[in-house]
Structures are given as C-alpha cells and as structure tokens.
Chains A and B, each alone.
Chain A
Amino acid sequence: MFEEVIDRRVARNESLGVQPPVQIRLSLEGEVEIGPLRAALQKIAERSGRPRESFQHSNGDGNGNGTAARAVRIPWQEHDLRGLPKDQARKWISSFLETDGLQGISGERFPQMRWALLLTDQKECELIWSLHPALCDRVDMQRHIAELEAACRSEIRIIERPIERPVRPQTRKPEEAEGAIRATQDESVQDNRAEKELIAIWETVLNTKPVKATDDFFDLGGHSLLAARLLARIEDALGVELPLASLLEAPTIRGQAQLVRKYRGKVELEDYDKKPHKIVQQLPFFFLGGDPTFRPLSQRLSELREFHSLGLRASLIGKLKDQGSLESIAEQFVQSIRERRPEGPYMLGGWCAHGLLAYEIARQLQAQGQKVAQLLLLETVNPVRMKQYSGWKRTIARTQLKLHLLKFEYAYLQQLNSTQTRSYIAGRTAQKVARLRQSLRRVLKATKFYPELEEASAGNPLDTLYAASAKYHPRPYRGPVVLIRSTKRTFGFGHVLDLGWSEVLGPNLEICETPGNHYTIYMEPNVNALANKMDLCLRKAEAAAVAPRNNH
C-alpha cells in the first residue's frame, strides 16, 4: 500500500526528500508485550516497501526465530520514563515530540516511518508513530490499531493526531508510461543524490573545485593514497564500503554513484529478496546516556537499528549500594539490560564517562557468562592513564575542553526551538547556581545554612557518574572494543590517540575517527557521520558474532 504511494510519487519525479514527520501518539494500556508489538509494527513497515538500504548481508545460518530476526529491523526507540514524576514525564514527552518533529523523515529511505515507545507507567505506555507526510493520507489508522491490539493484547487509543499537512499537488502523467518510468527514475533520483554527496567528497579529498560528475579521478591527479582517503570518506558518509580497486572500475563520480547503488542493491537483494531466511540477526544497541542532548544521535541510530537509550536517573542513585563506585552503578544497568534482553550477545556504548560505564557493564555481563559482541567507546578516557599525565597539561586540556563545550552549546542551541532553548538555559543556570552555592558552602564550611545542599548534590546523577568514573580503575576486559575519536582534539592527554586504552585492551582495540570535537561529534552536522560509523562498527560485529554459530 505505502509502496505504491511512494513509487508513484517518485515516478512523477516529485522530490519526496526529507520532511517533518506527521506524529501520531497512541496510548497502550495494560501490560504491553513488547516483542509481539514490534513484530506487528515490523509487518506494517514491511508493507511500506523495500528493506532499508544500509542493511548488511552476511552468511549467517538460517534463523529459527523468524519474528525475532525480523522484528529488529524497524527504526525503533525505547525510553524508560518510569522513574520520573508525572509532570516531568509529560515535559519529557513534549520535548521529545519537538525534537522528533525537527528530525525530518526521509521519503526515499524505507520504511518512511519510525516508532518510539515511551514507558510511562507499569500499566501504560505511549507509542509515538512518526510518518512521512506523503503516507498519512493513506494510512488506515483504525485497521492498524486493530492489528496492533490483536498482536500485543492491550487496549490502544489515539491520544493525538495532528492535522495533516496538505500534500503537494500531483501532476498527472499518462498512465501507461508510469510503470516504465518508475524504475529508471527511482534509480536516477538515488544516483543524483549520491552524485551530489560524492562531488563534495571528491572536491575535499582532491582539493580542487569544481569537479564534474564525468571527470576521471586519475586525471584530476588522483593516486592510490588519495583513493584510499576518498573511499574511507565515502564509507563514513554513505555507509558503503567500496574496495580500492573499484576506482579502477569506475573512476568517475557518475560511475561511482552507480557502484554505490549497486553495492547497496546487492546487499538488499541478497538479504531480502533472494534469501529472506538468511538474515543476520540484528542485535539491539544499548546506548548509555539518557540526556536530551543525545537525542539527535538517538534519532539517527534508531533509524538504523533497534536502539535503547539508558539514562542515569536520580531515582536510581538512591538504590545504589555504593554511590561512589562505578561498579555498583553498572550493576543496576546490567539488571535493567537483562530485563529487556535476558541473553546476549549484547552491544553497548556510550560517550565520555558514559562509555566508561558501558565498559564496566560489558565487563560484568561477560563475568556473568554473557557474550558482548561490541563495545563502542565515544571519546572515553582511561582514567588511570590520564592521572599519570602531568598536572599543567591537564589544566590546559580542561580549559580547551571548556572552549569546545562553548562551541557545543552553540551548536546544540541552534537545534532547539525557543521553548527548549529557554528550558535548557534555565537548567544550565540552575546547575551553575547549585555548584556555586556548594563551593561557597565548602569554603564557609557552613553546613547548617544550606543543609539541603548535601542531598541535592548527592542526587544529581551526572555528578555521581563523573565522580565515580574519576575513581574507576578499568579491570581487564576481553572482547572487541571500538574507540571512536573526534578529529579535533584538545592538547595534552586528549591528543593521545588511544586515550590510554591500548595497554588495557591490546589487540582487541580498534580506533576510528569521526568529525567534530569532544562534544560536537554527536551534534548536527556531524551526527550523521557518527551514527553511520557506529552502525558500521555494529554491523561488522554482528556479522562476526552471528557467523560462527547461531544463538537461536
């Protein structure tokens, strides 16, 4: 059904492009069975047409549990808000909807929809269904709701369905020509988009402008090292790994754009049309960091794979055995991860101190006999090695990091609307004031004047995490780890490529880079490159984890 709508529009050569989604909010009552719900959504997504471009093929054996294997391919996010007070949860949701609305949805990437499940209560949750506007006039919501209700055995009602934006007028073409035009134009639309992206990459790598789509790479002064650089960039930007020799086969942008499509197409075809049973099980990715600043990254990753964001909440801090230790924080997370996914292989990751938390979680999961297929550390420092660095270097690095933070905040504020900006600034100010009062109190040793402060600071989850990280001593961990570094680094320890991990991890450590500084790597415009890079690492790990032996 959806496929027809989209294809006809492509056939009419209307640019579907990226558009703000139509958001439908559904409330699910009763104890929702998440697995069957996802399977039902997957079916709906599958009806929306072809599989997604970036899906990787591998030679894994047939997967016994078809629904489970299929159920993980939809753009899916899960957020646990159960610890939050009601009014905060409401705020969280409205801010989520705003960010989700700002993140456009591509009309050319299938499926043209995504879901987020917000667990608000033990007996209730909310499903946010974001659709490309081109689809919304064709969605038979009543029918889908009936399907979903049957699947997850809960009562579903529509909380909110916004007024649909008028769809752009359609120009008519003779009906008989449509079918023929469809295929070729679909391809050319894809190629043109790829060509544009490729031109930008070629111009940077070759350091010449302008480059035409028909220019030969080697005539432009290209040689093998530049070829390697070019293909590395292409892999980062487009998520397609072309072999070096492909440049000999297709030395022009036009040829390369077709190759990109072919490589993607090959993956699609082998994956889906020809051998639908040979699907590599896509593993869910657990991302540590519930902070709203990570939302652009969560959005992108959730389009690429099943994604869970796990945040440190104030309510959790209270439950800890030992607040000062990262090990005990990690214990809590291990528990909640295993509630969602009882058995491995697991894939985890996090940024900065959250990465360290992910490290400890991965270690504990391994200690419990679970397999961890991949651990992604984003700009995470080995705290033990950093302490061995001289003090003045650390001071300079910290100052530089603060400057980077300013750039980050600027980039972040650019992405917010006015309400969000206000609340962000208010939050930051409150934090600053609290810190100021706390240091004042420490200086004056005036506990009796501000007795409430002790509690407040103990309850701040991020402070707890950072304090615990500083004291953490990473114990040995055996398993693949990818350290993702920013291209812009601070002076001192920040400049050390491996951030002190080589000696702990040895040959299990792989390092790659992504554009931006410590903070801006997960902000627009860098977030796309980061998400693609993370997804690529995860896909490689999946193939490696599933290839030798199947778990189901």
Chain B
Amino acid sequence: MGNSFPLTDAATPLALADKELHVWRAQLDFPPAVLQQMASTLSSDDTGRVERFLITRVRERFIAARGILRQLLGVYLGLDPARLEFCYGPEGKPSLSTIHNSRISFNVSHSGNMALFAVCSGAELGVDIEEVKSDFKGIQIASHFFSEKEIAELAKLPPKRANEAFFECWTAKEAYVKARGQGLSIPLRSFTIGLGYREQFLQDERGRRWGCYALEVTPGFAGAVVAEGEGWRLRHYEWSTGVELEASVPLPK
C-alpha cells in the first residue's frame, strides 16, 4: 500500500496510555486509485451504506473516512484493517465488535474535506467537526435549538464572532450527544455550553461527568471532543504523516 497509508508502516501498534485521548486530523480528498484501495478494505455493511449515497462527493468522502478509520484502528489493534468488525448502538453509533476483545473506543466526524478521529481506551467518547461558513445563519438555528443562555450570549457578540461561536458551541453539543450514543434524541437545548469555552464539564442525568474540549483543528473549522470522565490528556496527530502535532494542541485554561 506504500506511501498512501503511512501508518501501516508503523512497526509497533500505537500505544494508548491510560487517560490519553488521541485526536487524528485527516484530509479526505484522494485520487480515485487511493479511494479504490480504501474501498477494498471496507466490509459488506460499509459498502451497502456506500452504495446508497446519491452524491458522488459525499460517497467518496464516506469511503475515505471509513478507510482511514479502519487503517487507524488497525494500527492501534495491530490488525489488518479489512478484518476489523464493527457493531452499532441503538442510535447507530459504531463501536468495535466484541470479537476484538478491546477496550478501545473511537468516534469519527467529517465536514467538508476534513475529518477527525478520536480514540481512547475504556470510556465513551464523541467528536465533531464543522466547517465554519461565514454566510451561515447560525443564530437562526441557535434560536431553534440552543438553550436560552446560549442564545442570549450569542446575541451579544458581533456577527462574525457570533458565527464562530455558534460553530464552537454546535460542535461541542454534537460531540456530547455523540459521546452519549443517543444521537439527536437528546434535546440540544437541554444543556448549556459556555461560549468561548476551552474545556468544560457536563453532567448527565445519572450524575456522570463528561469532559468537553474545544479543538483548534485548522483555520476555517471548529471542532470538539467529549469523553466520559475527567482529567483527559489530549494528543493530536496528523494522519497523513503520523506525526504528533504540538502546535495545535489546545491549551486548557
């Protein structure tokens, strides 16, 4: 597979220390040949999903995201990507099948041509990325789906900053509901994200604490990752090189 999948060259499986949260960043636009290679690693239920996409670009990005996910998990588990099996939660959240007997959990999100992959051990997690669109009417969506406090805070900001803040807040909310594995059935206005947060803790109705971290993905994108529990150490990697990104590690205040 050579250069297109640099991580397969990693000699040893990637180590995931306790309380470590790895966030991988990847671009999803690949030449057709690479996509084809990636598609060959997908399982039959993945390809079933692929065939249903009606728009080529959407289909290709799904293939790329799934391909990279398999690649990555293959490295963590020391397995052939094509042999990985997933199972799905009640709201469709994928996780590693029990046959792998692994504590690793993961979550994926992509928007535009960027994707984030979050991996940790022994805890539920969720990640979300959104391309920040300047013409997006965030406030309109906020007024329908955000909590009153968030709406009031957004209204105070100048338009450009309000738009960015909307995306930061949205990704945090998404990451949280994804981490909970209940998809969109948790009302987004039922919990509040402080605007401009870097790190925040959320408490669910059973009293469990969830750590929520803002991610500085790359300019023009907002991202967030949420994991069950507290005291997570975040480490950032670039998928195409396998290199740990020091610069974009968000600094908890």
Contacts and interface: CB of A to CB of B under 8 A. Distances in A.
A219 B159 contact: no
Contacts of A502: 152, 155-156
B55 A228 contact: no
B151 A510 contact: yes
Contacts of B53: 219, 221
Interface of B: 52-55, 57-58, 91, 111, 130, 137, 139-141, 143-145, 148-149, 151-152, 155-156, 158-159, 162, 170, 174, 183-185, 187-188
A220 B58 contact: yes
B157 to A, nearest CB: 8
A510 to B, nearest CB: 7
Nearest to B109: A223
Most buried by B among A228, A245, A496, A513: A228
A510 B147 CA distance: 11
10 contacts: A221-B54, A228-B188, A232-B143, A232-B145, A248-B183, A497-B139, A509-B155, A511-B155, A512-B140, A513-B140
A535 to B, nearest CB: 16
Contacts of A225: 130, 141, 170, 174
B132 to A, nearest CB: 11
Contacts of B151: 510-511
A513 B152 CA distance: 15
A246 to B, nearest CB: 9
Interface string A195-230: 000000000000010000001100111011101110
A511 B170 CA distance: 18
For the complex of A and B, 9 pairs with smallest distance between CB atoms: A221-B58, A244-B184, A245-B185, A232-B144, A245-B184, A228-B141, A512-B143, A498-B155, A219-B52
A247 interface: yes
Contacts of B184: 224, 227, 243-245, 247-248
Interface of A: 208, 215-216, 219-221, 223-225, 227-229, 231-232, 235, 241, 243-245, 247-248, 487, 495-498, 502, 506-507, 509-513
B140 A496 contact: no
Contacts of A223: 111
A220 B54 contact: yes
Given A216-B52, A221-B58, A498-B156, A513 B145 contact: no
Contacts of A216: 52
Contacts, number: 82
Prevailing SS type, chain B contact patch: helix
Nearest to B62: A221
Contacts of B187: 243-244
Contacts of A512: 140, 143
A446 to B, nearest CB: 47
Nearest to B162: A497
A457 to B, nearest CB: 38
A216 B248 CA distance: 37
B24 to A, nearest CB: 19
A208 B185 CA distance: 27
B141 A506 contact: no
Nearest to B185: A245
Most buried by B among A219, A220, A224, A502: A224
A428 B141 CA distance: 39
B55 A220 contact: yes
A513 B137 contact: yes
Contacts of A220: 54-55, 58
A244 B145 contact: yes
Contacts of B141: 225, 228-229, 232
Contacts of B130: 225
B143 A221 contact: no
Given A220-B54, A247-B184, A496-B158, A511 B143 contact: yes
B152 A235 contact: no
Nearest to A235: B144
Nearest to B52: A219
A221 B159 CA distance: 28
Most buried by A among B130, B137, B145, B158: B145
Contacts of A241: 144
A532 to B, nearest CB: 14
A208 B140 CA distance: 21
Most buried by A among B55, B58, B91, B151: B58
Given A216-B52, A509-B155, A512-B140, 8 more contacts: A225-B130, A228-B188, A231-B144, A232-B145, A243-B184, A248-B185, A502-B156, A511-B143
A217 to B, nearest CB: 11
A510 B149 CA distance: 10
A59 to B, nearest CB: 18
A507 B152 contact: yes
B141 to A, nearest CB: 5
Nearest to B141: A228
B143 A244 contact: no
Most buried by B among A215, A487, A497: A497
Most buried by B among A241, A244, A495: A244
A513 B139 contact: yes
Contacts of A248: 91, 183-185
A237 to B, nearest CB: 13
Contacts of B188: 228, 244
A221 to B, nearest CB: 4
Contacts of A511: 139, 143, 151, 155
Given A216-B52, A228-B145, A232-B144, A245 B162 contact: no
Contacts of B170: 225
Nearest to A208: B55
B183 A245 contact: yes
B134 to A, nearest CB: 13
A398 B171 CA distance: 38
Contacts of B149: 507
B108 to A, nearest CB: 12
Contact of A497 (B144, B148, B155, B185): B155
Nearest to A507: B152
A235 B143 CA distance: 12
A487 B137 contact: yes
Contacts of A235: 144
B158 to A, nearest CB: 7
Nearest to B144: A232
Contacts of B145: 228, 232, 244
A221 B183 CA distance: 17
Nearest to A236: B140
B50 to A, nearest CB: 10
A250 to B, nearest CB: 13
A354 B73 CA distance: 62
A126 B145 CA distance: 45
A520 B152 CA distance: 27
Given A228-B144, A511-B143, A219 B54 contact: yes
Nearest to B171: A225
A498 B130 CA distance: 25
Most buried by A among B91, B144, B162, B187: B144
Most buried by B among A225, A227, A232: A225
A224 B185 CA distance: 11
A400 to B, nearest CB: 16
A507 B148 contact: yes
A417 B240 CA distance: 66
